[in-house]
């Protein structure tokens, strides 16, 4: 089957390549000519483990192409999939301008019956607007469908090729059949496609992110209580996570969640609820708890040094919003860097993949980026771990002790051994630990 994927970011590139790997003929479109030119040369514009191999294999086999032109990709395609960004607008709603722009261009490029599928995360009711936008320019029949994506950056290839489930919101029987065909590659172990009405599919995506974010904010709030009452949130986490009704995942207290999805999707969900006069008290609290949590590490550093950091150098390990990605959108590390700088500190930073994005976002004056973690910590008055990349989880404390100016560690993810750190001569602060 021929599939056009519009938008070649984290979701579009992974899913387009995944569909090609299932044997389909895929053309990926992006409005950014530099991104398309890079992909045509075989360069992968994002850091995503396993993706380069998959792109190269499918491009070489002739199943995966890249273009800037929707008008080139859509003619003859059975499915045109929209995977462009839906960032927050000023009022917290999802900005649908790129989605609707793509829909209009798809409409104009149709040459026969096509399913226009929204993979981007979009508020309930967006399919109606997509139908209208495609219909405004279409001269051929089409159906709309919703197919929200649940991949996680850092493990996106695996998630796409072996999903827990695929959600398809569609009412047209031809659309349902074509979507099942598109995902035939994952059906060997059983039917993982759940077909439902379009509005339920759209809401399912927001419900999933809101539930996951709720678990994190819940643990972050409990971590504050644990600190005050002298309990260890790590023991509490293990204690509740072993209950199968609760489960162990997404229960880590830390420096708050960031990324391109949870914060903006919570805002958009709250906006949708408000505009229908429905109170989502839990979701609202989750967002507020996270805004507070993102400042906890910085406040702790300031408190340790008596409220000001003039003349201090603070090293930050991990700048991406989570390990195994170069994505820094709404990363808690950026909030920390701002807090430290505002208090007078000079900030040094290290991240295995996100340095270029940090440089582009903050410029070269705001932060001294190091190419190696121990160089980053040299001469520092404090070291803060924000993003727990594997290579940062078991540091050589003796080496750090001999190169730092003041031996203070702030473990924003509770991954270091407080006993080891203290016996190496460090003051150690975790999150929710005595």
Cite the active site residues. Answer: 261
CB of 321 to ligand NAD, least distance (A): 10
Q: Which is nearer to ligand NAD, 11 or 302 (CB)?
A: 11
Strand order in the sheet with 427-429: 368-369, 346-350, 313-317, 382-385, 408-411, 427-429
CB of 370 to ligand NAD, least distance (A): 26
The residue to which tokens 């579009």 are assigned: 12
CA nearest to 253, candidates 419, 426, 422, 415: 415
- Give how far Cα 427 sits from Cα of 31, 377, 394, 409, Å: 50, 15, 17, 6
Q: Alpha carbon 180 to chain centroid distance? A: 26
Structure tokens at 323: 């390990």
CA nearest to 151, candidates 48, 1, 3, 32: 48
Distance CA 214, CA 274 (A): 19
CA nearest to 109, candidates 69, 143, 66, 146: 69
Q: Which is nearer to ligand NAD, 32 or 396 (CB)?
A: 32
- Per DSSP, 75 falls in state T
Distance CA 56, CA 60 (A): 6
- SS3 for 317-368 is ECCCCCCCCCCCCCCHHHHHHHHHHHCCCEEEEECCCCHHHHHHHHCCCCCE
CA nearest to 85, candidates 4, 31, 18, 16: 31
CB of 260 to ligand NAD, least distance (A): 5
Q: Which is nearer to ligand NAD, 9 or 430 (CB)?
A: 9
CB of 237 to ligand NAD, least distance (A): 24
Q: Which is nearer to ligand NAD, 258 or 395 (CB)?
A: 258
What is the sign, positive or negative, of the torsion defined by CA atoms of 137, 94, 175, 18? positive
3-state secondary structure of 253: coil
CB of 175 to ligand NAD, least distance (A): 20
Asked if residue 336 lies in contact with residue 302, where contact means CB atoms within 8 angstroms, the answer is no
Q: Which is nearer to ligand NAD, 12 or 18 (CB)?
A: 12
As a whole number of Å, the CA-based R_g of the chain is 23
- Per DSSP, 382 falls in state E
Residues forming the site for ligand NAD (CB under 6 A): 6-12, 29-32, 35, 83-86, 98, 101-102, 120-121, 149, 151, 153, 260-261
CB of 134 to ligand NAD, least distance (A): 14
Q: Which is nearer to ligand NAD, 84 or 309 (CB)?
A: 84
CB of 35 to ligand NAD, least distance (A): 6
Q: Which is nearer to ligand NAD, 70 or 176 (CB)?
A: 70
Structure tokens at 402: 């001999």
Strand partners, 277: none
Half-sphere exposure of residue 295: CA atoms within 13 angstroms, side-chain side: 9
Q: Which is nearer to ligand NAD, 152 or 304 (CB)?
A: 152
CB of 280 to ligand NAD, least distance (A): 19
């Amino acid at each position: 089957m021929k599939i056009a994927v519009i938008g070649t970011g984290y979701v579009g590139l992974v899913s387009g390549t995944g569909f090609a790997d299932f044997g389909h003929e895929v053309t990926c479109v992006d409005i950014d000519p530099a991104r398309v030119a890079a992909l045509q040369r075989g360069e992968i514009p994002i850091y995503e483990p396993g993706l380069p191999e998959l792109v190269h294999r499918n491009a070489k086999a002739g199943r995966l192409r890249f273009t800037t032109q929707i008008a080139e990709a859509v003619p003859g395609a059975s499915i045109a999939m929209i995977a462009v960004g839906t960032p927050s607008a000023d009022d917290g709603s999802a900005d649908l301008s790129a989605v609707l722009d793509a829909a209009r261009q798809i409409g104009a490029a149709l040459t026969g019956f096509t399913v226009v599928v929204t993979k981007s995360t979009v508020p309930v009711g967006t399919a109606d607007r997509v139908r209208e936008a495609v219909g405004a320019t279409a001269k051929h029949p089409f159906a709309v469908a919703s197919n929200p994506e649940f991949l996680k950056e850092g493990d996106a290839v695996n998630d796409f090729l072996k999903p827990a489930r695929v959600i398809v919101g569609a009412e047209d029987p031809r659309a349902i059949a074509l979507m099942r065909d598109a995902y035939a590659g994952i059906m060997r172990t059983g039917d993982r496609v759940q077909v439902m009405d379009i509005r339920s599919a759209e809401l399912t995506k927001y419900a999933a992110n809101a539930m996951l974010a709720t678990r994190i904010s819940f643990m972050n709030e409990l971590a504050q209580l644990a600190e005050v009452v002298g309990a260890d949130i790590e023991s509490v986490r293990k204690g509740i996570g072993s209950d199968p009704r609760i489960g162990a995942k997404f229960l880590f207290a830390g420096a708050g969640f960031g990324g391109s999805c949870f914060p903006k999707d919570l805002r958009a969900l709250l906006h949708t609820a408000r505009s229908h006069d429905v109170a989502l008290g839990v979701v609202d609290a989750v967002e507020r708890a996270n805004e507070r949590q993102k400042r906890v590490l910085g406040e702790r550093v300031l408190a340790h040094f008596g409220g000001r950091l003039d003349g201090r150098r603070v090293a930050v390990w991990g700048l991406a919003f989570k390990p195994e990605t170069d994505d820094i959108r709404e990363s808690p590390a950026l909030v920390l860097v701002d807090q430290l700088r505002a208090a007078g500190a000079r900030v040094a930073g290290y991240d295995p993949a996100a340095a270029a994005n940090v440089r582009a976002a903050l410029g070269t004056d705001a932060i001294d980026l190091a190419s190696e973690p121990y160089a980053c910590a040299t001469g520092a008055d404090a070291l803060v771990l924000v993003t727990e990349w594997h290579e940062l989880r078991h540091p050589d404390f003796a080496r750090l002790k001999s190169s730092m100016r003041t031996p203070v560690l702030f473990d924003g993810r509770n991954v270091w051994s407080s006993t080891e750190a203290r016996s190496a001569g460090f003051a150690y602060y975790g999150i929710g630990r005595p």
